[in-house]
């Protein structure tokens, strides 16, 4: 007699918020709290998979509860690709932003659940691991509100180095001369052997980002991340043609087509 595959029986969303000890931010905004939405998918055999998303947690939780959970209940817990297709089929004009991030968090949970059911790591379900270690960098320091947004960079970076981080990504974005001077201070502090990256968090025009890139190039960054709006493909094409620093991005792109367009453009 053939056994029935385990079925998804429950979807839970847990909204978390934390007050930060100080207000921090980037070139576009400051924030004093952070949030996350933890997602739990349970099968009828008792296995549990966990996922996470963070943008607009309350709205994402409502979307999951009203749109995605009814689709997932009863599906085979060992077929996350089929579950993804079922969720994606419920989206129309809302195939970006919160909807896709909520779907992505559930996708992570579904793969985790499939791995738990199979008793195998998720990388094995995806075809096997490609490497055993991954280099890590610290994302910070963040900017501070007020007239001196870089006032704690030296202190924070000293803490990162003491912790053992061997690469650093700065949050920057005021004006070229100021950013260039701060980058030089950081480079002197960490030395030439520590890889340095800079994230501008989409805060500039093509012209402004180009001016900052020229100043930052003096400290040899590995990349300049999201200097302009993520959906400005013509702008990225122009900036990539002149920037002395390789550009990084894609954090805010949604779906295969968006990545295809950037890769096709050679950005």
Give the three-state DSSP class for 62.
helix
**Minimal CA–CA distance to 158: which of 181, 200, 136, 191?**
191
pLDDT of 267 > 90? The answer is no
Specify the CATH number for the domain of residue 48. Answer: 3.30.390.10
Structural domain count, the chain: 2
Per-residue confidence (pLDDT) for residue 40, from 0 to 100:
98
Mean pLDDT to the nearest integer, 5-11 = 96
Inside any domain, residue 121: yes
Mean pLDDT to the nearest integer, 187-200 = 98
Inside any domain, residue 2: no
Domain holding 219, by residue range, is: 138-265
- Two tokens at 151? 């006032």
Query: Which residues does residue 139 pair with via DSSP β-bridges, in sequence order?
Result: 169
Cα(206)–Cα(57) distance, integer angstroms: 32
Mean pLDDT to the nearest integer, 144-166 = 97
**Minimal CA–CA distance to 165: which of 143, 198, 195?**
195
Place of tokens 């122009």: 238
Same domain for 144 and 255, yes or no, is yes
> Are residues 167 and 196 in contact, defined by beta-carbon separation less than 8 angstroms?
yes
The pLDDT tens digits for 30-60 are: 999 999 999 999 999 999 999 999 878 999 9
Mean pLDDT to the nearest integer, 53-71 = 93
Inside any domain, residue 20: yes
Residue spans of alpha helices (H) in the chain: 57-63, 69-72, 80-88, 97-118, 122-125, 153-163, 176-190, 206-216, 233-242, 256-265
> Are residues 151 and 158 in contact, defined by beta-carbon separation less than 8 angstroms?
no
Same domain for 110 and 150, yes or no, is no
Per-residue confidence (pLDDT) for residue 1, from 0 to 100:
47
Q: Which residues contact 264 (CB under 8 A, 6 or more apart)?
A: none
Inside any domain, residue 180: yes
The pLDDT tens digits for 228-253 are: 999 999 999 999 999 999 999 998 88
Specify the CATH number for the domain of residue 197. Answer: 3.20.20.120
Query: Which residues does residue 40 pair with via DSSP β-bridges, in sequence order?
Result: 12, 50
Q: Which of 93, 125, 157 is the last residue of a domain?
A: 125
Same domain for 171 and 259, yes or no, is yes
In terms of phi and psi (left: phi > 0; alpha: psi -120 to 50; beta: otherwise), the region of 127 is left
Same domain for 228 and 190, yes or no, is yes
Q: Which of 125, 147, 164 is the last residue of a domain?
A: 125
């Amino acid at each position: 007699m053939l056994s029935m595959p385990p079925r998804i029986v429950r979807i839970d969303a847990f909204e978390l918020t934390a007050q930060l000890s100080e207000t921090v931010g980037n070139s576009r905004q400051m924030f004093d709290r952070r949030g996350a939405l933890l997602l739990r998918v349970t099968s009828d055999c008792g296995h549990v998979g966990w996922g996470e998303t963070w943008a607009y947690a309350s709205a994402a939780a409502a979307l999951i509860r009203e749109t995605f959970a009814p689709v997932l209940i009863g599906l085979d817990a060992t077929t996350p690709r089929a579950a993804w297709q079922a969720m994606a089929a419920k989206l129309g004009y809302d195939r970006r932003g919160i909807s896709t991030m909520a779907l992505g968090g559930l996708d992570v949970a579904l793969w985790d659940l499939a791995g738990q059911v199979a008793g195998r790591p998720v990388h094995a379900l995806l075809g096997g691991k490609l490497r055993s270690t991954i280099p890590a960098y610290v994302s910070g320091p963040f900017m501070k509100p007020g007239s001196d947004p870089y006032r704690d960079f030296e202190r924070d970076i000293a803490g990162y180095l003491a912790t053992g981080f061997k690469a650093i990504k700065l949050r920057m974005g005021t004006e070229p001369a100021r950013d260039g001077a701060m980058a030089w201070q950081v480079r002197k502090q960490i030395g030439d052997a520590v890889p340095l990256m800079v994230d501008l968090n989409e805060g500039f025009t093509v012209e402004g980002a180009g001016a900052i890139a020229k100043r930052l190039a003096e400290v040899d960054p590995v990349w300049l991340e999201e200097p302009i709006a993520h959906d400005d493909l013509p702008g990225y094409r122009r900036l990539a043609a002149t920037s002395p620093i390789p550009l990084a991005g894609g954090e805010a792109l949604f779906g295969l087509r968006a990545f295809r367009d950037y890769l096709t453009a050679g950005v």
